[in-house]
């Protein structure tokens, strides 16, 4: 199926061509156990490993893969490291959103020229399988974008990694295909700053905006703007808290993450009912909206292909825009702090983000906040 993007994407300046998300790297307190969790609960497969056995002295990384999604789970091997400090401050969370480019030196130089802060100057990494060029810039909080130029690299992941094979434990995939979008939470008054950053530094365009009237409940509110590159493969909604009667989920995140960072990763599936059924049976916990949501949902979204009873069984949400509809569901946070979580999304023509579900969803989050005493 050829997917035609809305016209607004054509207005992206796109001077920094991005082919897609290359990988996400999480700094976690126990990479070995985290890798096991992403395999057993989310259906990722073993891909690569780096650690003492591969000459890596200060850290251990496991890389897991599912279709186009690669997640790197990294822990320090000793005290007093930058990785350890990151984990102490933020808890487990996303450090690197790596972007696949054709020229990592050009991407870096262009970004720096336009005002980015350097994380890593262009450097060549190589092993017997070839060369990769990496460079990196900071985005919000301590989060970074690493540009990955793969040239004709033939290795399993990146130089320094060896193939990670697990003979007896390879849970089946659950149908996750690619990263659809990644949402950042930034401090009060900082959303426009970061929208401007992506426009200016990376040539993105602001494709959608939601104000606190769009995203509010009786108690809390937030604002959000979505930036995208021209081919629509990299979409970053950016949230900031808004004034409400009680503390919003963005405030709670900023408090527990101790700063700005990535709130959720939305991953696409071609069959959300099957994917969520699998994830649920493997212990992934999802936010639930009240069953009454399903009494009126079809009045709002019209006819859909899926059986309502299956959507209701798993708590899957539906929304429609001018182009089609989408199905989505959100996990509970996947670490002790109420910070990062996943969204599972299936798009059936719609390019939007589920505005019609915001209210029901945020009320569900408020009920969780209430239980945590953080509302």
| Nearer to Fe ion (CB atom), residue 251 or residue 343 | 343
C-alpha distances out from residue 87 to 115, 123, 137, 335, Å: 28, 26, 20, 12
C-alpha distances out from residue 224 to 144, 184, 246, 344, 361, Å: 20, 10, 18, 19, 15
Reference 179, options 341, 71, 3, 21; nearest CA is 21
Piece of 121-129, 214-222, 292-300, 343-351 that binds Fe ion (CB under 5 A): 343-351
Distance in Å, CB of 235 to Fe ion, minimum: 9
User: Residue 76 in 3-state DSSP?
Assistant: strand
| Nearer to Fe ion (CB atom), residue 111 or residue 268 | 268
Geometric angle at alpha carbon 345, from 36 and 296, rounded to 5°: 130
| Nearer to Fe ion (CB atom), residue 132 or residue 266 | 266
What's the rounded Cα separation, in Å, for the pair 361 and 359?
A: 5
Distance in Å, CB of 287 to Fe ion, minimum: 12
Distance in Å, CB of 208 to Fe ion, minimum: 11
180 lies in the site for Fe ion, by CB under 5 A: no
Q: Which residue is listed with tokens 């970061």?
A: 194
Piece of 212-220, 266-274, 296-304, 312-320 that binds Fe ion (CB under 5 A): 266-274
Piece of 23-31, 190-198, 285-293, 336-344 that binds Fe ion (CB under 5 A): 336-344
Distance in Å, CB of 264 to Fe ion, minimum: 6
| Nearer to Fe ion (CB atom), residue 76 or residue 237 | 237
Interhelix angle 249-257/358-372, nearest 10 degrees? 50
Distance in Å, CB of 181 to Fe ion, minimum: 6
C-alpha distances out from residue 98 to 115, 125, 145, 212, 216, Å: 19, 15, 5, 31, 32
Binds Fe ion by CB under 5 A, chosen from 22, 25, 252, 343: 343
| Nearer to Fe ion (CB atom), residue 227 or residue 266 | 266
364 lies in the site for Fe ion, by CB under 5 A: no
Piece of 15-23, 68-76, 241-249, 338-346 that binds Fe ion (CB under 5 A): 338-346
267 lies in the site for Fe ion, by CB under 5 A: no
What's the rounded Cα separation, in Å, for the pair 162 and 142?
A: 28
Q: Which residues pair with 134 in a beta bridge?
A: 123, 148
Could you tell me if 218 and 109 are in contact, meaning their C-beta atoms sit under 8 angstroms apart? no
Piece of 66-74, 156-164, 244-252, 335-343 that binds Fe ion (CB under 5 A): 335-343
266 lies in the site for Fe ion, by CB under 5 A: yes
What's the rounded Cα separation, in Å, for the pair 363 and 114?
A: 40
Distance in Å, CB of 310 to Fe ion, minimum: 22
Distance in Å, CB of 182 to Fe ion, minimum: 8
Chain residues that interact with Fe ion, rule: CB under 5 A = 266, 343
């Amino acid at each position: 199926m050829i997917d035609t993007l809305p016209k607004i994407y054509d207005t992206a300046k796109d001077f920094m061509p991005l082919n897609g998300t290359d990988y996400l790297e999480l700094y976690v307190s126990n990479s070995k156990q985290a890798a096991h969790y992403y395999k057993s609960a989310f259906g990722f497969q073993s891909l690569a490993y780096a650690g003492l056995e591969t000459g890596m002295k200060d850290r251990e990384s496991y890389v897991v893969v599912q279709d186009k999604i690669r997640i790197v789970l990294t822990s320090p091997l000793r005290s007093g490291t930058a990785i350890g400090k990151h984990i102490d401050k933020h808890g487990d969370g996303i450090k690197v959103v790596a972007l696949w480019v054709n020229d990592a030196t050009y991407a870096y130089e262009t970004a720096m020229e336009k005002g980015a802060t350097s994380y890593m100057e262009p450097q060549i990494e190589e092993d017997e399988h070839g060369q990769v060029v990496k460079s990196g810039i900071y985005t919000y909080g301590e989060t970074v974008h690493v540009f990955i130029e793969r040239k004709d690299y033939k290795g399993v992941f990146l130089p320094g990694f060896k193939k990670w094979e697990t003979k007896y434990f390879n849970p089946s995939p659950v149908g996750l295909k690619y990263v659809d979008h990644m949402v950042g939470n930034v401090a009060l008054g900082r959303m426009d700053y970061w929208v401007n950053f992506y426009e200016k530094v990376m040539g993105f365009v602001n494709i959608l905006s939601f104000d606190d009237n769009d995203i509010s409940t009786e108690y809390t509110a937030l604002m959000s703007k979505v930036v995208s590159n021209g081919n629509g493969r990299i979409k970053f909604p950016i949230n900031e808290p808004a004034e409400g009667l009680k503390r919003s989920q963005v405030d709670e995140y900023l408090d527990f993450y101790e700063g700005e960072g990535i709130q959720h990763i939305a991953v696409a599936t071609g069959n959300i009912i099957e994917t969520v059924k699998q994830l649920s049976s493997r212990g992934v916990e999802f936010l639930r909206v009240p069953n009454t949501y399903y009494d009126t949902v079809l009045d709002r979204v019209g006819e859909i292909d899926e059986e309502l009873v299956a959507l209701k069984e798993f708590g899957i949400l539906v929304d429609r825009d001018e182009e089609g509809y989408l199905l989505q569901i959100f996990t509970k946070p996947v670490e002790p702090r109420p910070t990062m979580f996943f969204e599972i999304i299936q798009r059936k023509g719609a390019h939007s983000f589920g505005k019609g579900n915001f209210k029901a969803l945020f009320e569900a989050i408020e009920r969780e906040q209430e239980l945590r005493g953080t509302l």
